[in-house]
Amino acid sequence: AQSVTQPDIHITVSEGASLELRCNYSYGATPYLFWYVQSPGQGLQLLLKYFSGDTLVQGIKGFEAEFKRSQSSFNLRKPSVHWSDAAEYFCAVGAMEYGNKLVFGAGTILRVKS
């Protein structure tokens, strides 16, 4: 069965500082991985996805993530955080063998201080 762990419930960074949100997954085969962002009262917006190929993927809003098979990780990064990035971030794993349903992590709430 698939599972996802986001070890940090809350993270606070200063505006302009770099950001890394951690995500570890468990899945027997090659997973496909996603990061979604949710602003308060909003739906889930896809930031980026990894299906195969280049392990460093670029997403929207200046985010990137790196797939590391040896560490079962898919950490999200941004070199310089903006106040508008404050939101909750979810890592998710899917598998076409399971009909592409997603298993989500518990989420990380990002606070940005000015």
37 versus 112: smaller Cβ distance to another protein: 37
Minimum separation from the CB atom of position 17 to another protein (A): 27
Pairing of strands 102-104, 73-78: unpaired
Binding-residue total with another protein (CB under 8 A): 26
96 versus 114: smaller Cβ distance to another protein: 96
59 versus 81: smaller Cβ distance to another protein: 59
Element (H, E) at 109: strand 108-113
Backbone φ, ψ for residue 69 (5° rounding): -65, -40
Q: Which of residues 70-109 bind another protein (CB under 8 A)?
A: 90, 92, 94, 96-107
Minimum separation from the CB atom of position 46 to another protein (A): 6
Report which DSSP code applies to 82.
Answer: -
Closest listed residue to residue 51, CA positions, set 68, 21, 30, 26: 30
**Residue 42: partners with Cβ closer than 8 Å, 6 or more residues away:** none
Secondary structure of the chain: what % helix, strand, coil (to 5)? 10, 50, 40
Binding mask 32-51 for another protein (x = CB under 8 A): x-x-x-----xxxxx--x-x
- Which residues contribute to the site for another protein (CB under 8 A)? 32, 34, 36, 42-46, 49, 51-52, 90, 92, 94, 96-107
